[in-house]
Structure 1
Amino acid sequence: MVLAFVAAGALGGVAPVLMNIWLPAAVASIAGAVLAAIGGVIAARSSAALDRRTAEVRAVTAHAWVDNGGRFPLVRDVTDPVHIGVHPAASAAGAAGSAPAVPTGNSVPPFVPRDAMRTLCESLEQGGFVLVLGESTAGKSRLAFEAMRSTLPDHTLVVPTSREALQHVVSPVLEAKRCVVWLDDLERYLGPTGLTSQMVTRLIGQGNRQVVLLATMRTQEHAKHSARSQEFAGELEREFARVGRDTIRMARPILLERRWSATELQRARNYTDDSRIADALLHADRFGVAEYIAAGPQLLMDWRDAWSPGAHPRGAAIVAAAVDVRRAGLHRPISADLLFELHTPYLEARGGSVLRPESLEEALRWATQALHATSSLLIPAGGNRYIAFDYLADALQRDVDADPVPEHVWRAVVREATPPEAYDVGIAALQQGNRDYTRASLQSALDPSGAYSAEALAYSLGESGQPTQVKQLFAELVNGRERMYGKSHPYTLAARHSYAYWVGAAGDPKSAADLFRALARDREQLGGRDDPAVLATRHSLAYWVGEAGDPSTAARMFEEVVAERRRVLGPDDPGTLAARHSLAYWVGEAGDEHEAVRQLRAVVADQTRVLGAEHPHTMSSRHDLARRIGQAGDPRTALAEIEHVYAIRLRLHGPDHVYTLAALHSKARWTGEAGDPKTAVALFRQVVDGRRRLQGDDHPDTLYASYRLGMWVGKAGDPEEAVRILQDVAERQSRSLALTHLDIVRSRLELARYGAATGRADDAVRQLEELVESIDPAATGSPEMAEVKRLLERLR
């Protein structure tokens, strides 16, 4: 929401302002300095101190909402909730469904107490960090405002203007005896340079002070930080969620439903003298009362209807651009000039001049016109800047058929974002699968310690296929966090976990297992054996033990992990089910494919029951089930199973998504194994093309798909083409991966096999001998290397 910030006044007249401003004791002495200056007796040194302290005042008042006198107000003095972020509503004479009316000053209707009011007031009396959660226009900000006025009227109100502004208001808050820090739309304050768990602890510290952090947050934003929603997200998404979750979990959450309860509706009937409430009650079967009063549904309908020829198509295009700017992670008002620049492709895509678009001036006037004196599609923020109504952005986020944010908007947002904003843009790009803009944004993101943006960038590089660089970055992060937080801090341990993972991903699974073994020991000493972090570490340890060449031990370790997770978290916990999947995987890798199939069928059944048939966990287990069925000797059943998975992933994610391409890869393989190598080749070409578009030519996933393509081209009867493809794959792999990587072993093996088939036996022998000489001793016992040695003996 856009806050109606009031200028602090002309600081040129600093003396009268500072005599009345509420500021910390360290700054309050400015008043004496000012009086001395007026008296003409201040010395040069005192004058410098005055300048410095005046600068402090300017910094504070420039980054927080203050009254016309340049002071932080008391809560009881703020009478209009719209000033601090509450959605405006229709004037009483112009409620929704009636003729528009001239605003009469009553920008919000009478407050109807919500069921959560008592709980919220009790929570505010306790002090600390309180978070009101709900959908857009559920009434979160109004409830928080009324509870604050009822419970804490004599507290000073501090409203930071932005994430970066938090740093400037810390001192006033620490000096205050009674203070409320208002954080409407909490997501705007999280992340680099913003609110962290350490800052929360500092602000609400013990003593004789009573400080309340009162925040609101839309449930759509809160869900991005959920541990459960991140189970199968990429490493970066999980780290982003953890950073925010560490802060959010310090709050006492209070959920406010968008739809009103029967008790609340009955209560609202006592306020039907206000026509806005009366009209909203008529529509309460479809909408929340606060939602209807804020005109959210009507504005959404108006935006969609505006595309019609001769209506307001240019205005609709400008709104679409503003909404997508928010979807791309930039949540501040932007200039009209930028909106004008961005709107043209939207208009052209709908028909351009055929729509008979209105002028720019008329379009902007329509988009900013308040509906019945309530909210507008675009909310003016002063200085010819505008921001899209958050209700619209949330509506598109819920719409599975919504178009992705277009390229020209990403380019503009990356260009416009400040370094701190670039972090949000990078995360938004990552969550929407746009890796190029993820890297472009995160590389320009800054924060005081370098921790958040550097970690995010590291994960981004890892997902783009550069594990060696990521390993080095995380080594540096571990050292930095040990210096900053100490060796036992959760942030340091989390960095060690990530470092261990990327050591393994960079080609050294044995060292990764050793690192996880030490981490599990350290975490167990701190949190005990039942700590979920310990269970997660032991899960990773078992995985890398298997990857290091000991699948039987990995399977035994996963049996223990499953038993512990069942005992601590329960049999239906997603983590327990995921551990069962891993157990089945390593049972199969240890050679018992039929037992792996049996276990995976049971896991899929339980995940379908607990999580749903199309949950990412369930889909992942079904994908692995198809592979195990095929490897157990039944490729036709495997093909039928993976075709089902592929159809669902194609519908849910589209063709250019890593999940969809992985399923298509498996479909291609089992098509070939089921006896149709030519169709397998055609499908593998689709996979390679998709990987190149999504991840680039040299990404490990692209190279692996290309290796499989070369292999099936050979099986389909064209060994010369197979050699050409596999030679290119081998050259690319040697530039991007360590020579010990099994992907290189596989591709060199197939290259030698088809090289020999085309009369190049001497070249094949030379290549295999070089491979044997260069391979890490730890990898010599792999099945792939055993096959290399058998082929080498046969060719010699």
Structure 2
Amino acid sequence: MAGKTRMAVHLLQLVYPDRLVVIPDAPDGLAALMNAGEIPDNGIVWLDDLERYLSDASNLRSKWIERLQEAGNVIVATMRETFYESFQLGESLQRTQWATLQLFDLVRLKNESEERSALAAQIPDPRIRQGVITYGLGAYVGGGHLALQRLETGRTTNPVGAALVLAATDWQRSGIGDSIGDSIACALVPQYTDSDNLEPSPDELAAGWTWATAQVVGGDAFALLKRQADGSSRPFDYLLDHVSRSGRPIPALLWEAAAAADAPAGRLNTAGLNAVTAGYEQLAARFFERASEQGDVEAMANFATTLERGDRIPEAKALYERSAEGGSLQGMTGLAVLLEREGNVLQAERLFKKAAEGGIGDAMANLGFLLMGRGEEEEAVDWYRRAAEAGSGFGMTNYGIVLEKAGDIEAAEKLYRAAVQKRRNGAGMYQLAKLLSGRGKDEEALSLLQDATRAGNPAAMMELGTVFEARGEEAAAEKLYRMAADRGDAVGLFVVGRKLLAGQHYAEAERMFVRSAGRGYVMSTFWLGLLMQQTGRRAEAVLQFRSAAAHEAMTDVRTLLYIAQELEQEDALPVLRKAANLGSVFAMQQLGILLDRSEAHVEAQSFHDRATVGEERLRQSAGEGDTEALIELGQISADRRDFDQARRLLQKAADQGSAYALQCLALLPPEPGPL
């Protein structure tokens, strides 16, 4: 009733007056036409209320639009704004209909106040004039205002009838169907009345149906509910748009009824997506599961996502595989995520690229993540930006991280908050939590960490695990670490690997370290060497130590010093140089000694001189109570076999809370007993 169909007809008559117009029946008329090979030539294909064709992806395919265009046809469609928004990309539950919509050039009818005022000025009747100013000429004259007034009045004069209308509008809003059956509508009436949820009597229901279906609105032009051929009832479109704009939530019992209703796979999938947005994720899983059983590949991808979030990873992978094999780009994205976690990076990248080129925002973001990991930063950032523009919460988060590192904190926070608005976007929650924690907003940050963990973000799981561990809640912390490791988080794999190694579960610990090291976490390479050393594989351990020391990310001085002790002099020298360049006085002293043995006296003296200056600096810091200075001076004293001095320094560091100092103390020779 807003004039969109009238405008399209008028323009087509002006521009293409001699063309044949083909109007396929909704919803599957175009599918029947295309499957039969009856393709019009140089005509106009008219798809009024496009959402009727898009409700099931099998009724309108992108390739059909392209074939019609190749045959010289002009394809024209109309659609209300609320339906257009409902088909837009979600955070992680995508749909193929959006790709089809992108083939159309979008023309929006803008109901501007200046235009309404100009039209109203030409109307003598003050009531109509005010109606045009308030609602616009098309909607008002078409009867939308009158329909809304009748519905609002009916809440008092005929609450059962108004409830039937509202139930029908919410049924369509859920996505399960355009029209509602009588028995379902009647059962839902108590949800929309103020009668303490009492069941209406048969007479009240009969009177309600009579009122709702009476064709008395807009000069007897239409009714609030229109009876369909199958006996179901469809609400007047203007009421549907009004209720949708109001933001009023759909009652839980209607979602329950929709989840149990018979519907084609496309409808079930759409209803599942809407249920996710409304916060009914368990019900959404039921919609997706039922649609999957009917063979809908998009529903398979969506159901796989719900399984993955419930830690049912093997089941999710199997369903992603079926979805991807069926051509779903979202299925390919989900499968690629799991493959990448398993270390199958090449296959994951191939799937990410195919899905990204198909317009899937999450695939773009994941592809950027892989490229960033191997140093292709410029291309990675471009994919992050494109993913953010495509509406991917993951893309927004990663692009926000890039901006944050560049110093644009305000823009980064804006992106993080936009990502958080994408339901269950754990990455955005985690990054925003870190930002807020840095500002001292610990309570809000902790709440976001918990939400991010529930959303399946492994980094948040690790962070929350450390919080629980600090509280002494070891079991809860270990569960979180395990969850992060199951999702392929490098640090989670490392932490779980260390715990397994402590329990002498060598084979399982080794698998964890190998996977973590493969994801670039250098400490796992070092610990893999320790494991091999403990299990008698000395030569393999040395290779791991060398690899860890050479890694650019290895900046832990204590680890470097340990590695240097385990290597032969020739291999130890570059490791000690690295530790010395990181400021280790002990490494400087050891380098001086080793270089003297190699008769590189000039270079040795330079390190002796640097060590002397560094040791004096350490003594000043230790005198001020610096824990790290106390530990390093203690190690230097122990190396000089001044064990009494070493004990005093290390004990002081231990008294200040250093666990490492306690470990060093335990390695010192025991104090001599009394004679």
Using the alignment, how far apart are the partners of 2:225 and 2:242 within structure 1?
Answer: 15
Q: Deviations for 1:665-695, whole angstroms, at most 9, x for unmatched residues?
A: 43xxxxxxxxxxxxxxxxx6xx69x95xxx8
Residue 222 of structure 1 corresponds to: 84
Residue 192 of structure 1 corresponds to: 57
Using the alignment, how far apart are the partners of 1:619 and 1:442 within structure 2?
Answer: 22
Matching residue within 141, 147, 167 for 2:31: 167
Residue 334 of structure 1 corresponds to: 180
Greater relative CO, 1 or 2 (CA 8 Å, sep 6+): 1
Residue 346 of structure 1 corresponds to: 192
Secondary structure, aligned partner of 2:234: strand
- Contact kept, 8 Å, 2:117 with 2:133, in 1: the verdict is no
> 1:536 offset after TM fit, Å?
8.3
> 1:365 offset after TM fit, Å?
1.5
Residue 654 of structure 2 corresponds to: none
Matching residue within 318, 321, 325 for 2:171: 325
Q: What is the identity, as a one-letter code, of the residue corresponding to 1:195?
A: L
Q: Check 1:709–1:322 CA distance in 2 against 1; reply closer, same or farther (3 A cut).
A: same
Q: What is the identity, as a one-letter code, of the residue corresponding to 1:234?
A: E
State the TM-score, normalized to the length of structure 1: 0.54
Q: Check 1:713–1:357 CA distance in 2 against 1; reply closer, same or farther (3 A cut).
A: farther
Q: How does 1:416-565 map to 2 (within 5 A)?
A: 416-445=262-291, 450-481=296-327, 496-504=332-340, 507-508=341-342, 510-512=343-345, 514-515=346-347, 518=350, 539-544=365-370, 553=373, 556-562=375-381
Secondary structure, aligned partner of 2:2: coil
Percent identity (aligned)? 18
> 1:189 offset after TM fit, Å?
0.6
Secondary structure, aligned partner of 1:379: strand
Q: Check 1:352–1:463 CA distance in 2 against 1; reply closer, same or farther (3 A cut).
A: closer
Q: Deviations for 1:565-623, whole angstroms, at most 9, x for unmatched residues?
A: 88xx89x9688998795367489xxxxxxx84x63515337759xx9899769997696
Q: How many residues align?
A: 529
1:234 matches 2:91: yes
Residue 447 of structure 2 corresponds to: 664
Residue 109 of structure 2 corresponds to: 256
Residue 143 of structure 2 corresponds to: 295
Q: Check 1:356–1:423 CA distance in 2 against 1; reply closer, same or farther (3 A cut).
A: closer
Using the alignment, how far apart are the partners of 2:513 and 2:275 within structure 1?
Answer: 38
- Contact kept, 8 Å, 1:577 with 1:603, in 2: the verdict is no
Matching residue within 364, 382, 399 for 2:246: 399
Segments of 5+ residues of structure 2 without an aligned counterpart are 531-558, 560-658, 668-675
- Contact kept, 8 Å, 1:378 with 1:389, in 2: the verdict is yes
> 1:342 offset after TM fit, Å?
2.1
Q: How does 1:633-672 map to 2 (within 5 A)?
A: 634=438, 637-639=439-441, 643=444, 664-666=447-449
> 1:386 offset after TM fit, Å?
0.6
> 1:234 offset after TM fit, Å?
2.2
1:140 matches 2:35: no
Residue 431 of structure 2 corresponds to: 624
Segments of 5+ residues of structure 1 without an aligned counterpart are 1-136, 482-490, 525-530, 547-552, 588-594, 647-662, 667-683, 753-762
Matching residue within 369, 390, 398 for 1:582: 398
Secondary structure, aligned partner of 1:202: helix
Matching residue within 191, 213, 216 for 1:368: 213
Using the alignment, how far apart are the partners of 2:315 and 2:42 within structure 1?
Answer: 49
Matching residue within 229, 237, 244 for 2:97: 244
Using the alignment, how far apart are the partners of 1:447 and 1:202 within structure 2?
Answer: 30
Bigger-Rg structure (1/2): 2
> 1:247 offset after TM fit, Å?
1.7
Q: Check 1:355–1:446 CA distance in 2 against 1; reply closer, same or farther (3 A cut).
A: closer
Using the alignment, how far apart are the partners of 2:408 and 2:322 within structure 1?
Answer: 39
Residue 202 of structure 1 corresponds to: 67
Q: Calculate the aligned-residue CA RMSD, in Å.
A: 5.2
Secondary structure, aligned partner of 2:233: strand
Residue 412 of structure 2 corresponds to: 604
Residue 388 of structure 1 corresponds to: 235
Secondary structure, aligned partner of 2:59: coil
Using the alignment, how far apart are the partners of 1:319 and 1:331 within structure 2?
Answer: 15
- Contact kept, 8 Å, 1:562 with 1:580, in 2: the verdict is no
- Contact kept, 8 Å, 2:224 with 2:236, in 1: the verdict is yes
> 1:783 offset after TM fit, Å?
7.3
> 1:710 offset after TM fit, Å?
7.2
Using the alignment, how far apart are the partners of 1:367 and 1:473 within structure 2?
Answer: 44
> 1:368 offset after TM fit, Å?
1.9
- Contact kept, 8 Å, 2:120 with 2:129, in 1: the verdict is no
Using the alignment, how far apart are the partners of 2:398 and 2:440 within structure 1?
Answer: 19
Q: Deviations for 1:312-343, whole angstroms, at most 9, x for unmatched residues?
A: 22122212211111111023323222211222
Matching residue within 225, 232, 236 for 1:378: 225
- Contact kept, 8 Å, 1:539 with 1:558, in 2: the verdict is no
Deviates more, 1:415-424 or 1:405-414: 405-414
> 1:766 offset after TM fit, Å?
2.1
Residue 261 of structure 2 corresponds to: 415
Q: Deviations for 1:342-385, whole angstroms, at most 9, x for unmatched residues?
A: 223333x6534699997111111222233232443222224432
> 1:769 offset after TM fit, Å?
5.2
Q: Check 1:460–1:301 CA distance in 2 against 1; reply closer, same or farther (3 A cut).
A: farther
State the TM-score, normalized to the length of structure 2: 0.63
> 1:235 offset after TM fit, Å?
2.0
Q: Check 1:466–1:338 CA distance in 2 against 1; reply closer, same or farther (3 A cut).
A: same
> 1:412 offset after TM fit, Å?
3.5
Using the alignment, how far apart are the partners of 2:86 and 2:64 within structure 1?
Answer: 21
- Contact kept, 8 Å, 2:166 with 2:192, in 1: the verdict is yes
Deviates more, 1:738-747 or 1:253-262: 738-747
Q: Check 1:748–1:377 CA distance in 2 against 1; reply closer, same or farther (3 A cut).
A: farther
> 1:627 offset after TM fit, Å?
0.9
Q: Check 1:462–1:724 CA distance in 2 against 1; reply closer, same or farther (3 A cut).
A: closer
Q: Check 1:184–1:388 CA distance in 2 against 1; reply closer, same or farther (3 A cut).
A: same
Q: What is the identity, as a one-letter code, of the residue corresponding to 2:441?
A: L
- Contact kept, 8 Å, 1:426 with 1:439, in 2: the verdict is yes
Q: Deviations for 1:445-474, whole angstroms, at most 9, x for unmatched residues?
A: 379985433334334433444444444444
Matching residue within 359, 363, 368 for 2:204: 359
Secondary structure, aligned partner of 2:261: helix
- Contact kept, 8 Å, 1:318 with 1:343, in 2: the verdict is yes
Secondary structure, aligned partner of 1:217: coil
Using the alignment, how far apart are the partners of 1:468 and 1:406 within structure 2?
Answer: 31
Residue 672 of structure 1 corresponds to: none
Using the alignment, how far apart are the partners of 2:419 and 2:459 within structure 1?
Answer: 31
> 1:195 offset after TM fit, Å?
0.7
Using the alignment, how far apart are the partners of 2:511 and 2:98 within structure 1?
Answer: 45
> 1:214 offset after TM fit, Å?
2.8
- Contact kept, 8 Å, 2:365 with 2:383, in 1: the verdict is no
Q: Deviations for 1:410-431, whole angstroms, at most 9, x for unmatched residues?
A: 3335423233422322232233
> 1:518 offset after TM fit, Å?
5.0
Secondary structure, aligned partner of 1:182: strand
Matching residue within 41, 46, 49 for 1:182: 46
Using the alignment, how far apart are the partners of 2:263 and 2:322 within structure 1?
Answer: 27
> 1:521 offset after TM fit, Å?
8.2
> 1:211 offset after TM fit, Å?
4.3
> 1:738 offset after TM fit, Å?
7.4
The structure that is helix-richer by fraction is 2
Q: Check 1:613–1:175 CA distance in 2 against 1; reply closer, same or farther (3 A cut).
A: closer
